[in-house]
Structure 1
Amino acid sequence: MAARDLTTGLSYSYGKSLRTATASIVKVDIVIALLLQAQREERGLTSAEKALAERTITVSDNDAATALWHSIGGADGLASANRKLGLRDTEPGPGESWGSTTTSAADQIRLLAALTSRKSPLHSASRRYLRHLMRNVTPEQAWGVSAAGSDAEVKNGWLPRERHGGAWTVNSIGIVRQDGHTFLLAAVSERDSTMQSGVQAIEHIAETVTAALARASRDT
Protein backbone atom coordinates (compact mmCIF):
# COMPACT_ATOMS: atom_id res chain seq x y z
CA MET A 1 0.00 0.00 0.00
CA ALA A 2 1.22 3.52 -0.78
CA ALA A 3 -0.53 6.83 -0.26
CA ARG A 4 0.24 10.50 -0.78
CA ASP A 5 -1.82 13.41 0.51
CA LEU A 6 -1.43 16.10 -2.13
CA THR A 7 -3.00 18.65 0.20
CA THR A 8 -0.41 18.30 2.99
CA GLY A 9 2.50 16.47 1.37
CA LEU A 10 2.30 13.63 3.89
CA SER A 11 2.78 10.09 2.61
CA TYR A 12 2.62 6.48 3.76
CA SER A 13 3.90 3.17 2.42
CA TYR A 14 3.83 -0.46 3.51
CA GLY A 15 5.19 -3.58 1.86
CA LYS A 16 7.66 -1.68 -0.29
CA SER A 17 9.31 -4.85 -1.58
CA LEU A 18 6.13 -6.38 -3.03
CA ARG A 19 6.12 -6.69 -6.83
CA THR A 20 2.93 -8.20 -8.12
CA ALA A 21 1.07 -8.62 -11.40
CA THR A 22 -0.87 -5.52 -12.31
CA ALA A 23 -3.90 -7.30 -13.79
CA SER A 24 -6.15 -4.54 -15.16
CA ILE A 25 -4.66 -1.53 -13.35
CA VAL A 26 -2.05 -1.55 -16.14
CA LYS A 27 -4.80 -0.30 -18.45
CA VAL A 28 -4.23 3.21 -17.06
CA ASP A 29 -0.55 2.89 -17.99
CA ILE A 30 -1.48 1.65 -21.48
CA VAL A 31 -3.76 4.63 -22.12
CA ILE A 32 -1.08 7.01 -20.82
CA ALA A 33 1.35 5.45 -23.32
CA LEU A 34 -1.22 6.03 -26.07
CA LEU A 35 -1.66 9.67 -25.05
CA LEU A 36 2.10 10.25 -24.95
CA GLN A 37 2.39 8.71 -28.41
CA ALA A 38 -0.30 11.04 -29.75
CA GLN A 39 1.40 14.04 -28.13
CA ARG A 40 4.69 13.07 -29.72
CA GLU A 41 2.94 12.96 -33.09
CA GLU A 42 1.29 16.33 -32.33
CA ARG A 43 -2.25 15.06 -32.77
CA GLY A 44 -5.34 14.21 -30.78
CA LEU A 45 -6.68 10.71 -30.37
CA THR A 46 -8.68 9.35 -33.28
CA SER A 47 -12.33 8.45 -32.75
CA ALA A 48 -11.35 4.77 -32.85
CA GLU A 49 -8.63 5.30 -30.22
CA LYS A 50 -11.05 7.20 -27.99
CA ALA A 51 -13.58 4.38 -28.24
CA LEU A 52 -10.93 1.81 -27.31
CA ALA A 53 -9.61 3.94 -24.43
CA GLU A 54 -13.10 4.45 -23.04
CA ARG A 55 -13.88 0.72 -23.09
CA THR A 56 -10.46 -0.09 -21.66
CA ILE A 57 -10.93 2.11 -18.60
CA THR A 58 -14.66 2.41 -17.91
CA VAL A 59 -15.65 -1.25 -18.36
CA SER A 60 -12.16 -2.84 -18.27
CA ASP A 61 -12.61 -4.40 -21.71
CA ASN A 62 -9.71 -6.78 -22.33
CA ASP A 63 -10.05 -6.85 -26.12
CA ALA A 64 -9.88 -3.06 -26.25
CA ALA A 65 -6.80 -3.10 -24.01
CA THR A 66 -5.13 -5.67 -26.27
CA ALA A 67 -5.83 -3.48 -29.31
CA LEU A 68 -4.23 -0.49 -27.57
CA TRP A 69 -1.32 -2.66 -26.40
CA HIS A 70 -0.53 -3.39 -30.04
CA SER A 71 -1.04 0.27 -30.96
CA ILE A 72 1.55 1.51 -28.45
CA GLY A 73 4.08 -1.11 -29.51
CA GLY A 74 3.48 -3.71 -26.80
CA ALA A 75 6.00 -4.16 -24.01
CA ASP A 76 8.58 -1.89 -25.67
CA GLY A 77 6.06 0.91 -26.03
CA LEU A 78 4.97 0.62 -22.42
CA ALA A 79 8.56 0.55 -21.19
CA SER A 80 9.34 3.70 -23.20
CA ALA A 81 6.36 5.52 -21.69
CA ASN A 82 7.29 4.38 -18.20
CA ARG A 83 10.78 5.80 -18.55
CA LYS A 84 9.20 9.19 -19.26
CA LEU A 85 6.95 8.77 -16.22
CA GLY A 86 9.89 7.93 -13.96
CA LEU A 87 8.64 4.47 -13.03
CA ARG A 88 11.31 2.27 -11.47
CA ASP A 89 9.72 -1.04 -10.54
CA THR A 90 7.37 -1.80 -13.44
CA GLU A 91 8.26 -4.59 -15.88
CA PRO A 92 5.94 -4.97 -18.90
CA GLY A 93 4.41 -8.37 -19.51
CA PRO A 94 5.66 -10.50 -22.43
CA GLY A 95 3.88 -10.87 -25.75
CA GLU A 96 0.21 -9.99 -25.38
CA SER A 97 0.26 -10.66 -21.63
CA TRP A 98 -0.17 -7.04 -20.57
CA GLY A 99 -1.90 -8.17 -17.36
CA SER A 100 1.29 -9.96 -16.31
CA THR A 101 3.11 -6.65 -16.11
CA THR A 102 4.62 -6.43 -12.62
CA THR A 103 4.69 -3.30 -10.50
CA SER A 104 4.96 -1.84 -7.00
CA ALA A 105 2.58 0.38 -5.07
CA ALA A 106 5.21 3.13 -5.15
CA ASP A 107 5.34 3.06 -8.95
CA GLN A 108 1.57 3.28 -9.12
CA ILE A 109 1.73 6.46 -7.02
CA ARG A 110 4.25 7.82 -9.53
CA LEU A 111 1.80 6.90 -12.29
CA LEU A 112 -1.05 8.72 -10.54
CA ALA A 113 1.21 11.73 -9.99
CA ALA A 114 1.51 11.97 -13.78
CA LEU A 115 -2.25 12.58 -13.82
CA THR A 116 -2.14 15.35 -11.22
CA SER A 117 1.15 17.22 -11.56
CA ARG A 118 1.86 20.17 -13.82
CA LYS A 119 5.36 18.71 -14.19
CA SER A 120 3.90 15.60 -15.83
CA PRO A 121 4.97 14.67 -19.37
CA LEU A 122 1.25 14.46 -20.09
CA HIS A 123 -0.37 17.65 -21.32
CA SER A 124 -3.17 19.07 -19.17
CA ALA A 125 -5.82 18.01 -21.70
CA SER A 126 -4.48 14.45 -21.66
CA ARG A 127 -4.54 14.40 -17.87
CA ARG A 128 -8.13 15.65 -17.76
CA TYR A 129 -9.23 13.14 -20.39
CA LEU A 130 -7.91 10.06 -18.58
CA ARG A 131 -9.13 11.25 -15.19
CA HIS A 132 -12.58 11.74 -16.72
CA LEU A 133 -12.55 8.09 -17.85
CA MET A 134 -11.46 6.93 -14.39
CA ARG A 135 -14.22 8.99 -12.80
CA ASN A 136 -16.75 7.19 -14.97
CA VAL A 137 -15.76 3.58 -14.31
CA THR A 138 -18.88 1.40 -14.31
CA PRO A 139 -20.33 1.28 -10.75
CA GLU A 140 -19.77 -2.46 -10.27
CA GLN A 141 -16.04 -1.89 -10.82
CA ALA A 142 -15.73 1.24 -8.66
CA TRP A 143 -14.73 -0.56 -5.46
CA GLY A 144 -11.32 -0.50 -3.79
CA VAL A 145 -9.51 2.69 -2.82
CA SER A 146 -12.62 4.69 -3.72
CA ALA A 147 -14.01 3.56 -0.33
CA ALA A 148 -11.77 6.23 1.24
CA GLY A 149 -13.73 9.17 -0.15
CA SER A 150 -16.93 10.44 -1.64
CA ASP A 151 -15.26 11.60 -4.87
CA ALA A 152 -12.90 9.23 -6.68
CA GLU A 153 -11.21 8.44 -9.97
CA VAL A 154 -10.29 4.77 -9.87
CA LYS A 155 -9.09 1.71 -11.77
CA ASN A 156 -9.03 -1.78 -10.34
CA GLY A 157 -7.52 -5.12 -11.33
CA TRP A 158 -8.31 -8.67 -10.26
CA LEU A 159 -6.92 -11.97 -11.42
CA PRO A 160 -6.77 -15.56 -10.06
CA ARG A 161 -3.23 -16.84 -10.67
CA GLU A 162 -2.28 -20.43 -11.37
CA ARG A 163 1.21 -19.85 -9.99
CA HIS A 164 -0.42 -19.12 -6.61
CA GLY A 165 -2.72 -22.12 -6.72
CA GLY A 166 -5.67 -20.08 -7.94
CA ALA A 167 -5.33 -17.45 -5.20
CA TRP A 168 -6.26 -13.92 -6.23
CA THR A 169 -4.24 -10.86 -7.10
CA VAL A 170 -6.41 -7.81 -6.33
CA ASN A 171 -5.22 -4.24 -6.98
CA SER A 172 -6.74 -0.78 -6.82
CA ILE A 173 -5.38 2.66 -7.72
CA GLY A 174 -7.03 6.04 -7.67
CA ILE A 175 -7.28 9.73 -6.88
CA VAL A 176 -9.65 10.24 -3.95
CA ARG A 177 -10.98 13.43 -2.38
CA GLN A 178 -12.37 13.57 1.14
CA ASP A 179 -12.80 16.38 3.71
CA GLY A 180 -10.64 18.88 1.84
CA HIS A 181 -7.83 16.42 1.11
CA THR A 182 -6.80 14.89 -2.22
CA PHE A 183 -5.10 11.52 -1.92
CA LEU A 184 -3.18 9.39 -4.39
CA LEU A 185 -3.77 5.78 -3.36
CA ALA A 186 -2.32 2.51 -4.63
CA ALA A 187 -3.00 -0.90 -3.11
CA VAL A 188 -1.52 -4.07 -4.62
CA SER A 189 -1.99 -7.53 -3.19
CA GLU A 190 -1.58 -11.19 -4.05
CA ARG A 191 -2.48 -14.63 -2.68
CA ASP A 192 -5.93 -13.53 -1.50
CA SER A 193 -8.16 -16.54 -0.90
CA THR A 194 -11.05 -14.91 -2.78
CA MET A 195 -11.51 -11.76 -4.82
CA GLN A 196 -13.93 -10.42 -2.21
CA SER A 197 -11.46 -10.86 0.63
CA GLY A 198 -8.91 -8.88 -1.38
CA VAL A 199 -11.43 -6.12 -2.06
CA GLN A 200 -12.41 -5.90 1.61
CA ALA A 201 -8.79 -5.70 2.73
CA ILE A 202 -8.03 -2.92 0.24
CA GLU A 203 -11.07 -0.91 1.22
CA HIS A 204 -10.27 -1.24 4.92
CA ILE A 205 -6.66 -0.16 4.56
CA ALA A 206 -7.55 2.72 2.21
CA GLU A 207 -10.02 4.09 4.75
CA THR A 208 -7.59 3.57 7.63
CA VAL A 209 -4.58 5.16 5.94
CA THR A 210 -6.41 8.23 4.62
CA ALA A 211 -8.01 8.84 8.02
CA ALA A 212 -4.59 8.60 9.68
CA LEU A 213 -2.98 10.98 7.19
CA ALA A 214 -5.79 13.50 7.63
CA ARG A 215 -5.55 13.21 11.42
CA ALA A 216 -1.77 13.63 11.33
CA SER A 217 -2.12 16.87 9.38
CA ARG A 218 -4.49 18.25 12.03
CA ASP A 219 -2.12 17.26 14.84
CA THR A 220 0.93 19.02 13.40
Structure 2
Amino acid sequence: MRRTRLWIFAVAAAVIVGGGALIGLGMRDDSGGTGGGFLPSSLSFGDDGRAPSAAPSPTGPSPEELAKAKRAAQAKKLDAALKKLAATAPEFSVAILDKKTGERYSYRGAERYDTASIVKAQVLACLLLKSQDAGREPTSGEMNLARPMIRLSDNNATTSLFQHLGGRGAITKCNQRLGLTQTTVNTAWGLTKTTVNDQVKLLSELVDTKGPLDADSRKTAFTLMNSVDDAQDWGVPSIAQAGEAATVKNGWDTRSADGGLWAINTIGRVVSSDKETDVSVAVLSHNNQSMESGIALVEKVAKLTRQHLEY
Protein backbone atom coordinates (compact mmCIF):
# COMPACT_ATOMS: atom_id res chain seq x y z
CA MET A 1 0.00 0.00 0.00
CA ARG A 2 2.84 2.38 0.86
CA ARG A 3 4.48 1.58 -2.48
CA THR A 4 1.23 2.35 -4.29
CA ARG A 5 0.99 5.76 -2.63
CA LEU A 6 4.60 6.59 -3.53
CA TRP A 7 3.93 5.64 -7.14
CA ILE A 8 0.84 7.91 -7.27
CA PHE A 9 2.82 10.81 -5.77
CA ALA A 10 5.55 10.34 -8.37
CA VAL A 11 3.09 10.41 -11.26
CA ALA A 12 1.42 13.54 -9.84
CA ALA A 13 4.76 15.28 -9.45
CA ALA A 14 5.66 14.50 -13.05
CA VAL A 15 2.37 15.96 -14.27
CA ILE A 16 2.88 19.14 -12.20
CA VAL A 17 6.44 19.61 -13.45
CA GLY A 18 5.41 18.95 -17.06
CA GLY A 19 2.49 21.36 -16.80
CA GLY A 20 4.79 24.01 -15.41
CA ALA A 21 7.07 23.53 -18.38
CA LEU A 22 4.14 23.98 -20.78
CA ILE A 23 2.99 27.11 -18.94
CA GLY A 24 6.54 28.47 -19.06
CA LEU A 25 6.64 27.82 -22.81
CA GLY A 26 3.25 29.46 -23.29
CA MET A 27 4.44 32.72 -21.65
CA ARG A 28 7.25 33.31 -24.14
CA ASP A 29 6.26 35.19 -27.31
CA ASP A 30 8.06 35.16 -30.63
CA SER A 31 10.50 37.79 -29.50
CA GLY A 32 11.48 35.94 -26.33
CA GLY A 33 9.49 38.23 -24.00
CA THR A 34 6.64 37.23 -21.72
CA GLY A 35 3.15 37.01 -23.15
CA GLY A 36 -0.34 36.33 -21.87
CA GLY A 37 -0.03 32.60 -21.29
CA PHE A 38 -0.88 31.47 -24.86
CA LEU A 39 1.29 29.68 -27.36
CA PRO A 40 2.70 31.93 -30.09
CA SER A 41 0.49 31.83 -33.17
CA SER A 42 3.31 30.20 -35.09
CA LEU A 43 3.22 27.26 -32.68
CA SER A 44 -0.53 26.91 -32.17
CA PHE A 45 -2.61 24.16 -33.71
CA GLY A 46 -5.87 24.50 -35.60
CA ASP A 47 -9.21 23.34 -34.34
CA ASP A 48 -8.71 20.06 -36.17
CA GLY A 49 -5.49 19.42 -34.27
CA ARG A 50 -3.28 19.44 -37.34
CA ALA A 51 0.16 21.04 -37.30
CA PRO A 52 0.24 24.64 -38.58
CA SER A 53 1.19 25.44 -42.15
CA ALA A 54 4.21 27.63 -42.83
CA ALA A 55 3.63 31.42 -42.77
CA PRO A 56 3.44 32.98 -46.25
CA SER A 57 6.68 34.53 -47.49
CA PRO A 58 6.87 38.36 -47.82
CA THR A 59 5.54 39.71 -51.10
CA GLY A 60 8.38 42.24 -51.51
CA PRO A 61 8.28 46.01 -52.07
CA SER A 62 5.16 47.58 -53.54
CA PRO A 63 5.28 49.27 -56.96
CA GLU A 64 5.10 52.63 -55.18
CA GLU A 65 8.07 51.74 -52.99
CA LEU A 66 10.06 50.60 -56.01
CA ALA A 67 9.26 53.82 -57.87
CA LYS A 68 10.29 55.90 -54.86
CA ALA A 69 13.58 54.03 -54.58
CA LYS A 70 14.21 54.51 -58.30
CA ARG A 71 13.57 58.26 -58.07
CA ALA A 72 15.90 58.56 -55.10
CA ALA A 73 18.64 56.77 -57.04
CA GLN A 74 18.06 59.01 -60.07
CA ALA A 75 18.22 62.16 -57.94
CA LYS A 76 21.44 60.98 -56.33
CA LYS A 77 23.07 60.45 -59.74
CA LEU A 78 21.83 63.85 -60.91
CA ASP A 79 23.26 65.48 -57.79
CA ALA A 80 26.63 63.93 -58.59
CA ALA A 81 26.51 65.03 -62.23
CA LEU A 82 25.61 68.62 -61.35
CA LYS A 83 28.26 68.83 -58.65
CA LYS A 84 30.84 67.63 -61.15
CA LEU A 85 29.73 70.30 -63.63
CA ALA A 86 29.66 73.00 -60.94
CA ALA A 87 33.33 72.36 -60.16
CA THR A 88 34.33 73.96 -63.48
CA ALA A 89 31.31 76.08 -64.45
CA PRO A 90 29.90 79.45 -63.36
CA GLU A 91 27.36 79.37 -60.56
CA PHE A 92 23.96 77.88 -61.44
CA SER A 93 20.81 76.45 -59.88
CA VAL A 94 18.06 74.25 -61.29
CA ALA A 95 14.60 73.07 -60.24
CA ILE A 96 12.18 70.60 -61.80
CA LEU A 97 8.50 69.90 -61.17
CA ASP A 98 7.01 66.82 -62.83
CA LYS A 99 3.27 67.49 -62.89
CA LYS A 100 2.47 63.89 -63.83
CA THR A 101 4.14 62.36 -60.77
CA GLY A 102 4.14 65.38 -58.46
CA GLU A 103 7.86 64.89 -57.93
CA ARG A 104 10.12 67.90 -57.37
CA TYR A 105 13.86 68.21 -57.66
CA SER A 106 16.10 71.18 -56.99
CA TYR A 107 19.82 71.80 -56.91
CA ARG A 108 20.75 74.88 -54.89
CA GLY A 109 17.06 75.71 -55.03
CA ALA A 110 17.07 78.61 -52.57
CA GLU A 111 20.02 80.54 -54.07
CA ARG A 112 18.95 84.00 -55.23
CA TYR A 113 19.72 85.44 -58.68
CA ASP A 114 18.81 88.52 -60.67
CA THR A 115 15.84 87.67 -62.85
CA ALA A 116 16.82 89.72 -65.88
CA SER A 117 13.99 89.23 -68.41
CA ILE A 118 12.39 86.11 -66.92
CA VAL A 119 10.56 88.53 -64.61
CA LYS A 120 8.39 89.29 -67.65
CA ALA A 121 6.53 86.01 -67.07
CA GLN A 122 5.64 87.32 -63.61
CA VAL A 123 4.46 90.62 -65.08
CA LEU A 124 2.29 88.69 -67.56
CA ALA A 125 0.73 86.60 -64.77
CA CYS A 126 -0.02 89.77 -62.80
CA LEU A 127 -1.62 91.41 -65.84
CA LEU A 128 -3.87 88.39 -66.31
CA LEU A 129 -4.85 88.39 -62.63
CA LYS A 130 -5.64 92.11 -62.68
CA SER A 131 -7.88 91.61 -65.69
CA GLN A 132 -9.69 88.74 -63.97
CA ASP A 133 -10.19 90.85 -60.84
CA ALA A 134 -11.89 93.47 -63.02
CA GLY A 135 -14.10 90.80 -64.57
CA ARG A 136 -12.72 91.31 -68.07
CA GLU A 137 -10.20 90.11 -70.61
CA PRO A 138 -6.95 92.07 -71.05
CA THR A 139 -7.59 95.11 -73.24
CA SER A 140 -6.19 95.32 -76.74
CA GLY A 141 -3.75 97.95 -75.50
CA GLU A 142 -2.53 95.65 -72.72
CA MET A 143 -2.12 92.75 -75.13
CA ASN A 144 -0.25 95.01 -77.56
CA LEU A 145 2.32 95.34 -74.78
CA ALA A 146 2.16 91.77 -73.48
CA ARG A 147 2.86 90.14 -76.85
CA PRO A 148 6.21 91.85 -77.56
CA MET A 149 7.13 91.63 -73.86
CA ILE A 150 7.03 87.82 -74.01
CA ARG A 151 7.71 87.00 -77.66
CA LEU A 152 10.43 89.61 -78.28
CA SER A 153 11.44 90.34 -74.67
CA ASP A 154 10.73 94.01 -75.36
CA ASN A 155 11.96 96.12 -72.44
CA ASN A 156 9.93 99.24 -73.21
CA ALA A 157 6.73 97.21 -73.32
CA THR A 158 7.65 95.63 -70.00
CA THR A 159 8.31 98.98 -68.34
CA SER A 160 4.94 100.28 -69.56
CA LEU A 161 3.07 97.24 -68.21
CA PHE A 162 5.04 97.24 -64.95
CA GLN A 163 3.99 100.83 -64.30
CA HIS A 164 0.45 100.25 -65.59
CA LEU A 165 -0.02 97.45 -63.05
CA GLY A 166 1.16 99.62 -60.14
CA GLY A 167 4.91 99.09 -60.06
CA ARG A 168 6.89 97.32 -57.38
CA GLY A 169 4.17 97.30 -54.70
CA ALA A 170 1.51 95.87 -56.99
CA ILE A 171 3.78 93.18 -58.42
CA THR A 172 4.86 92.21 -54.90
CA LYS A 173 1.24 91.74 -53.83
CA CYS A 174 0.56 89.77 -57.00
CA ASN A 175 3.55 87.52 -56.27
CA GLN A 176 2.09 86.77 -52.86
CA ARG A 177 -1.11 85.57 -54.54
CA LEU A 178 1.00 83.36 -56.78
CA GLY A 179 2.83 81.86 -53.79
CA LEU A 180 6.23 83.33 -54.62
CA THR A 181 7.92 83.60 -51.23
CA GLN A 182 11.55 83.91 -52.32
CA THR A 183 11.20 86.70 -54.89
CA THR A 184 11.96 90.34 -54.11
CA VAL A 185 10.71 92.83 -56.69
CA ASN A 186 12.97 95.73 -57.64
CA THR A 187 11.79 99.05 -59.07
CA ALA A 188 14.33 98.35 -61.80
CA TRP A 189 12.38 95.21 -62.69
CA GLY A 190 15.35 93.34 -64.25
CA LEU A 191 17.13 93.41 -60.88
CA THR A 192 14.31 91.54 -59.14
CA LYS A 193 15.80 88.69 -57.09
CA THR A 194 14.39 85.17 -57.29
CA THR A 195 15.15 81.46 -56.90
CA VAL A 196 14.59 78.43 -59.10
CA ASN A 197 12.15 77.10 -56.51
CA ASP A 198 9.99 80.21 -56.90
CA GLN A 199 10.23 80.13 -60.68
CA VAL A 200 8.99 76.54 -60.84
CA LYS A 201 6.16 77.60 -58.53
CA LEU A 202 5.29 80.40 -60.95
CA LEU A 203 5.29 77.99 -63.89
CA SER A 204 2.99 75.64 -62.03
CA GLU A 205 0.55 78.47 -61.28
CA LEU A 206 0.39 79.31 -64.99
CA VAL A 207 -1.18 75.88 -65.65
CA ASP A 208 -2.85 74.88 -62.38
CA THR A 209 -6.58 74.37 -62.93
CA LYS A 210 -7.11 74.95 -59.20
CA GLY A 211 -4.83 77.99 -59.09
CA PRO A 212 -5.67 81.70 -59.33
CA LEU A 213 -5.58 81.92 -63.14
CA ASP A 214 -8.71 80.96 -65.05
CA ALA A 215 -8.78 78.90 -68.25
CA ASP A 216 -8.56 81.90 -70.58
CA SER A 217 -5.61 83.35 -68.69
CA ARG A 218 -3.79 80.01 -68.68
CA LYS A 219 -4.36 79.70 -72.44
CA THR A 220 -3.02 83.21 -73.05
CA ALA A 221 0.13 82.53 -71.03
CA PHE A 222 0.75 79.26 -72.87
CA THR A 223 0.16 80.78 -76.30
CA LEU A 224 2.59 83.66 -75.74
CA MET A 225 5.32 81.57 -74.12
CA ASN A 226 4.97 78.89 -76.81
CA SER A 227 5.54 81.36 -79.64
CA VAL A 228 8.66 83.36 -78.80
CA ASP A 229 10.83 84.74 -81.55
CA ASP A 230 13.19 82.21 -83.13
CA ALA A 231 16.22 84.13 -81.86
CA GLN A 232 15.01 83.52 -78.30
CA ASP A 233 13.99 79.90 -78.76
CA TRP A 234 16.77 78.48 -76.58
CA GLY A 235 17.11 77.17 -73.05
CA VAL A 236 14.21 74.95 -71.99
CA PRO A 237 13.06 74.21 -75.59
CA SER A 238 16.41 72.53 -76.23
CA ILE A 239 15.29 69.49 -74.22
CA ALA A 240 11.94 69.03 -75.97
CA GLN A 241 11.67 65.84 -78.01
CA ALA A 242 9.69 65.08 -81.15
CA GLY A 243 5.95 65.45 -80.52
CA GLU A 244 6.45 67.70 -77.47
CA ALA A 245 5.68 71.40 -77.10
CA ALA A 246 7.73 73.85 -75.07
CA THR A 247 7.04 77.20 -73.43
CA VAL A 248 9.86 79.52 -72.47
CA LYS A 249 10.91 82.89 -71.15
CA ASN A 250 14.61 83.58 -71.16
CA GLY A 251 16.63 86.28 -69.44
CA TRP A 252 20.10 87.63 -70.12
CA ASP A 253 22.00 90.66 -68.89
CA THR A 254 25.42 91.98 -67.96
CA ARG A 255 26.15 94.04 -64.88
CA SER A 256 29.10 96.26 -64.09
CA ALA A 257 28.80 95.02 -60.48
CA ASP A 258 29.68 91.56 -61.82
CA GLY A 259 32.59 92.81 -63.87
CA GLY A 260 30.56 92.72 -67.07
CA LEU A 261 29.83 88.99 -66.72
CA TRP A 262 26.53 87.57 -67.90
CA ALA A 263 23.42 86.40 -66.05
CA ILE A 264 21.68 83.78 -68.21
CA ASN A 265 18.33 82.34 -67.13
CA THR A 266 15.68 80.11 -68.68
CA ILE A 267 12.27 79.01 -67.42
CA GLY A 268 9.56 77.02 -69.16
CA ARG A 269 7.67 73.79 -69.61
CA VAL A 270 7.94 70.69 -71.77
CA VAL A 271 4.64 68.92 -72.43
CA SER A 272 3.44 66.14 -74.73
CA SER A 273 -0.07 65.90 -76.16
CA ASP A 274 -0.69 62.64 -74.27
CA LYS A 275 0.44 64.28 -70.99
CA GLU A 276 3.06 61.58 -70.50
CA THR A 277 5.49 64.47 -70.24
CA ASP A 278 4.47 67.61 -68.32
CA VAL A 279 7.50 69.13 -66.65
CA SER A 280 8.37 72.65 -65.49
CA VAL A 281 12.06 73.60 -65.62
CA ALA A 282 13.95 76.59 -64.25
CA VAL A 283 17.71 77.14 -64.64
CA LEU A 284 19.35 80.33 -63.32
CA SER A 285 23.02 81.27 -63.64
CA HIS A 286 25.40 84.19 -63.38
CA ASN A 287 29.08 85.07 -63.87
CA ASN A 288 29.13 83.63 -67.40
CA GLN A 289 31.94 84.90 -69.63
CA SER A 290 29.58 85.47 -72.57
CA MET A 291 25.95 85.11 -73.54
CA GLU A 292 26.80 82.14 -75.75
CA SER A 293 28.64 80.26 -73.00
CA GLY A 294 25.82 81.01 -70.57
CA ILE A 295 23.23 79.60 -72.96
CA ALA A 296 25.37 76.49 -73.41
CA LEU A 297 25.55 76.11 -69.61
CA VAL A 298 21.82 76.38 -68.87
CA GLU A 299 20.98 74.03 -71.73
CA LYS A 300 23.52 71.50 -70.50
CA VAL A 301 22.06 71.66 -67.00
CA ALA A 302 18.53 71.19 -68.35
CA LYS A 303 19.64 68.22 -70.46
CA LEU A 304 21.29 66.58 -67.45
CA THR A 305 18.01 66.74 -65.55
CA ARG A 306 16.16 65.01 -68.38
CA GLN A 307 18.89 62.41 -68.79
CA HIS A 308 18.99 61.41 -65.14
CA LEU A 309 15.37 61.92 -64.06
CA GLU A 310 14.11 60.27 -67.26
CA TYR A 311 11.05 62.45 -67.77
**TM-score, length basis structure 1:** 0.93
Q: Which residue of 2 aligns with 1:108?
A: 199
Q: Which residue of 2 aligns with 1:41?
A: 134
Q: Which residue of 1 aligns with 2:294?
A: 198
Q: Which residue of 2 aligns with 1:5?
A: 98
Are 1:152 and 2:234 an aligned pair?
no
**Contact preservation (8 Å) 2:125, 2:206:** no
Are 1:28 and 2:124 an aligned pair?
no
RMSD over equivalenced CA pairs, Å: 1.3
Please give the secondary structure, in 2, of the residue aligned with 1:9.
coil
CA distance in 2, matches of 1:17, 1:47: 37
Q: Which residue of 2 aligns with 1:57?
A: 150
Which structure has the larger Rg?
2
Amino acid at match of 2:129: L
Are 1:99 and 2:190 an aligned pair?
yes
CA distance in 1, matches of 2:276, 2:299: 20
CA distance in 2, matches of 1:111, 1:17: 15
Please give the secondary structure, in 2, of the residue aligned with 1:140.
helix
Shift of 1:16: 2.2
Shift of 1:145: 1.4
Amino acid at match of 1:46: T
Shift of 1:11: 2.1
Q: Which residue of 1 aligns with 2:182?
A: 89
Amino acid at match of 1:53: A
Percent same amino acid at aligned positions?
Answer: 38
Please give the secondary structure, in 2, of the residue aligned with 1:4.
strand
CA distance in 2, matches of 1:214, 1:8: 12
**Contact preservation (8 Å) 2:264, 2:288:** yes
Amino acid at match of 1:50: M
Out of 66, 72, 75, the residue aligned to residue 159 of structure 2 is 66
Please give the secondary structure, in 1, of the residue aligned with 2:252.
strand
Moved over 3 A (4+): none
CA distance in 2, matches of 1:17, 1:32: 22
Alignment of 1:162-181 (within 5 A): 162-177=256-271, 180-181=276-277
Q: Which residue of 2 aligns with 1:208?
A: 304
- Structure 2 residues not aligned, in runs of 5+: 1-93
Say which structure, 1 or 2, has more relative contact order (CA 8 Å, 6+ apart): 1
**Contact preservation (8 Å) 1:11, 1:213:** no
Structure that is richer in strand per residue: 1
**Contact preservation (8 Å) 1:92, 1:101:** yes
Please give the secondary structure, in 1, of the residue aligned with 2:249.
strand
Please give the secondary structure, in 1, of the residue aligned with 2:310.
helix
Amino acid at match of 1:122: L
Shift of 1:180: 2.8
Amino acid at match of 2:286: E
Amino acid at match of 1:203: E
CA distance in 2, matches of 1:100, 1:47: 28
- Structure 1 residues not aligned, in runs of 5+: 216-220
Shift of 1:67: 0.5
Please give the secondary structure, in 2, of the residue aligned with 1:208.
helix
Bigger shift: 46-55 or 205-214?
Answer: 205-214
**Contact preservation (8 Å) 1:10, 1:213:** no
Amino acid at match of 2:251: G
